[in-house]
Amino acid sequence: MQNYISAFIEYLDYEKGLSVNTQAAYRRDLTRFSDYLQKSAGLSDPLRVSKQQIMGFLTARMDEGAAYSTVARSLSSIKTFYKFLVLEDYIQNNPTTDLETPKIKRKLPAVLTIEEVDKLMQQPRVTLPLGLRDRAMLELMYGTGVRVSELLHLQIEDVNTTAGFMRCLGKGRKERIIPVNQTAVDWVIRYLARGRNSLVKNHLERTLFVNARGRAMSRQGFFKILAGYVEKMELNKEVTPHTLRHSFATHLLENGADLRAVQEMLGHADISTTQIYTHLTRSRLMEVYQLYHPRA
């Protein structure tokens, strides 16, 4: 089984261009599936797996208390794995055909209000190079809705401060062009002029946002920075880098943006992923109605 999984992961890397994190998630799901087959049926050959055994695995995961979203992701991984096996002619009949993903009760993502965003932006000490960097990062993230991995992989030349747009590589190494508002542009310019040069030690370093040692920043480093500012705000709300992305999309839709345009800016392959934000805007409309209508 592990040989087939390794071949599959190589396919995801070289043929599909999926990120290291996504590859690791597939490997975890398939390794758990492999362990189940070995323990329940003494089976180590994925080519002999039946539809009933796959259903048994999903049922076992639910019996363990796994969330519906986790079970759905496991099934998605198994389906993709068997499509690969068919594609490479390891098997002719796909045992996952007609298997349905469990219906997921999607949790609405947390978002910041515009006032909370403004307060967050005021937290960095912009008289210091690191504060300038942090303000530029936060403004750019909220202003474009990029994922944290996309933000941290930006090169200096990826942000066109003259034309007001940004180039980034998303999932599957797909390139997209995103407009950048003037406020975010101004803070990036200030950071480049008065902050970055004092942080970078190697003049060949082209990563836009660097850590205190002048190297590319890690996801964990960004998480810590954001958590520190949220703590200073004394905000009674869980805030992650993705919260800024959710807030970007929600605020655009609340102000009349087209759903397809938001989908393109977020880099969602399927518009159904973007549609979750319409639920947030409906919830907000209901709150306003209940608060202000005389008969509500």
Give the tens place of pLDDT for each residue, 39-66.
887 888 888 898 889 988 988 888 787 8
Q: Tokens representing 188?
A: 């990036």
Q: Tokens representing 152?
A: 């941290």
Q: What are 166-175's pLDDT values in tens digits?
A: 998 877 778 8
Q: Is 21 exposed, middle or buried (0-12, 13-18, 19+ CB in 10 A)?
A: exposed
Both 118 and 234 in a single domain? yes
| pLDDT at residue 117 in the model | 95
Identity of the residue numbered 179: P
* Within a domain: 187: yes
Active-site residue, selected from the candidate residues 167, 171, 206, 284: 171
CA 277 to chain centre: 15
* Within a domain: 49: yes
Both 118 and 170 in a single domain? yes
28 labelled catalytic: no
| pLDDT at residue 296 in the model | 47
Round to whole Å and give the CA distance between 87 and 76: 16
Q: What are 90-129's pLDDT values in tens digits?
A: 999 899 988 876 555 556 668 899 999 999 999 999 999 9
Q: Which domain covers residue 281, as residue numbers? A: 114-291
Active-site residue, selected from the candidate residues 32, 206, 242, 284: 242
Active-site residue, selected from the candidate residues 196, 245, 246, 251: 245
242 labelled catalytic: yes
Model confidence pTM above 0.95 = no
119 labelled catalytic: no
* Within a domain: 106: no
268 labelled catalytic: yes
* Within a domain: 118: yes
Contact 210, 199 (CB under 8 A): yes
Contact 156, 208 (CB under 8 A): yes
106 labelled catalytic: no
User: Domain of 63: which CATH number?
Assistant: 1.10.150.130
* Within a domain: 67: yes
27 labelled catalytic: no
Domain final residue pick, 70, 87, 104 = 87
Q: pLDDT band at residue 67, thresholds of 50, 70 and 90?
A: confident
- The candidate with the shortest Cα–Cα distance to 126, out of 208, 214, 186, 182, is 186
* Within a domain: 102: no
Both 161 and 266 in a single domain? yes
Coil/strand/helix, residue 169: strand
Active-site residue, selected from the candidate residues 73, 147, 246, 251: 147
* Within a domain: 99: no
Tally the domains of the chain.
2
Round to whole Å and give the CA distance between 260 and 275: 10
Neighbour count for residue 140 (Cβ, 10 Å):
26
